[in-house]
Amino acid sequence: MATRGGVATYVRMMRDTALWEDWHIQHVATHRDGSAFAKLGIFAVGLAKYVAILIGRRPDVVHIHMGSNGSFVRKAIVTWLAKAFRVPVVLHIHGSGFHTFFDESPPVLQRIIRKTLEAAFVVVALGDEWAARLAEIAPGARVVDIPNAIPPGDAVAQPASAEPVHVLFLGQIGERKGAFVLVDAWAKLVAEYGRAIPARLTIVGDGEVERATDQVSTLGLGDSVAVSGWIAPEDVPALIRTAQVLVLPSREEGQPMAILEAMANGLCVVAAPAGGIPEMLGDAGILVPADDVDALAAAIARVVLGDDERVRLGNAALARVCERFDVNVVSRRFDRLYREATQ
């Protein structure tokens, strides 16, 4: 089973940059989705491969993608092994819940988290807010802000006058990303506009797929809402190109790759102001409070019924990606970090 989520998407995109060839990067996987046994197996194999690389070729730098909980445990081991071999570490923090993970950890684990971050040559945060928070967690760490990245594309086509606007949710289906709030907001739209609202919603992701399907059925939304569950990463770009609006009303986020992928294709984005999302969007999207069904319904109606507004925001989002999040621009920042680490 393929690894799901933003980190895997990020690594795949970086493979296509000059950074990968210039630094002869070798990717070592330490996690994959599946059973506990499968996860343990891939970690053991990955760790053995990693140690062999440390012994055999002693890399100039190790770039580690770290999240919370189990990811922290795995990557802390990887970090301290690099330190034992005196290899500088670029520690790249992903995921929306790292600060919560730290706050809810016992004092002994908090100390381990702090020391692990401070052991790195540099800690990379996804946005100013995250950088400030990580600096509070580990005052002795050097923390820099480097955003997620993506190759910009062309703006998606808008639907013909007789076609519905395609609204897309892309992410883990559950409370945290606001999937069920979105379905409630869609029910409000249907109740207010009926068949007069020319739009359809597709919900894509893993997680509580059955609950979302049941909610759609209970609310009688089957004519305009489809829940497809998770799709393979290679199928995501084509799916995004079929949509005109991405909705992600999350309670907690980092810098979600789903939003970047949508922006890079000129989709209009409606989201909650969680984590780094306000910094990502700027004025190139619509922010609504998390868990506010009425505000979310109003925002979706605004961009579904307002063709000019939808196109304007989509074009602004694409321009913002070209300016701030282009994968080639971001990869050059990592090139500079790697060079600093090896001096």
Name the CATH architecture for the domain at 6-149+327-342: 3-Layer(aba) Sandwich (3.40)
Q: Which CATH number fits domain 165-325: 3.40.50.300, 3.40.50.2000, 3.10.20.30, 3.30.420.310?
A: 3.40.50.2000
Q: Give the tens place of pLDDT for each residue, 219-269.
A: 999 999 999 988 888 899 999 999 999 999 999 888 898 999 999 999 999
pLDDT at 96: 72
Interval 173-181 mean pLDDT: 97
Quote the pTM value.
Answer: 0.82
Helix (H) or strand (E) holding 293: helix 293-305
Residue 326 pairs in a beta bridge with 150
- The answer to whether the 6-149+327-342 and 165-325 domains have the same CATH topology is yes
Does residue 3 surpass a pLDDT of 80? no
Highest mean pLDDT: which range of 121-135, 147-161, 184-198, 210-224: 210-224
Q: Which residues in 229-313 belong to E strands, given as ranges? A: 245-248, 268-271, 286-287
Higher pLDDT, 140 or 97: 140
pLDDT for residue 2 is more than 50: no
- Dump pLDDT digits (tens) for 49-73: 999 999 998 999 999 999 999 999 9
pLDDT given for residue 4 in this prediction: 52
Could you give the dihedral angle defined by the CA atoms of residues 19, 21, 27 and 32, in that order, rounded to the nearest 10 degrees? 80
**CA distance to 2, 36, 78, 254, 270, per residue, from 300 (Å):** 32, 40, 44, 23, 7
Per-residue pLDDT tens digits for 263-299: 999 999 999 999 889 999 999 999 999 999 999 999 9
User: What's the mean per-residue pLDDT of the chain?
Assistant: 93
Lowest mean pLDDT: which of 47-51, 193-197, 211-215, 249-253? Answer: 193-197
Q: Which of 270, 272, 278 is nearest to 252 (CA)?
A: 272
Please state, in angstroms and as integers, the Cα–Cα distance from residue 198 to each residue in 58, 109, 229, following that order.
Answer: 58, 52, 23
What is the band of 218 on the pLDDT scale with cuts at 50, 70, 90? very high
Q: Within 10 A of 234 (CB to CB), how many other CB atoms are there?
A: 9
pLDDT of residue 70: 92
pLDDT greater than 70 at residue 1: no
- CB-based burial label for 83 (10 Å; 0-12, 13-18, 19+): middle
Output 252 or 182, whichever has higher pLDDT: 182
Q: What are the residues whose beta carbons fall under 8 Å from the beta carbon of 80, sequence distance 6 or more?
A: 116, 119
| pLDDT at residue 341 is higher than 80 | yes
Residue 191 pLDDT grade (very low, low, confident, very high; cuts 50, 70, 90):
very high
Cβ-contact 253, 275 below 8 angstroms: yes
Domain range list for the chain: 6-149+327-342, 165-325
Mean pLDDT check: name the lowest of 40-44, 105-109, 166-170: 40-44
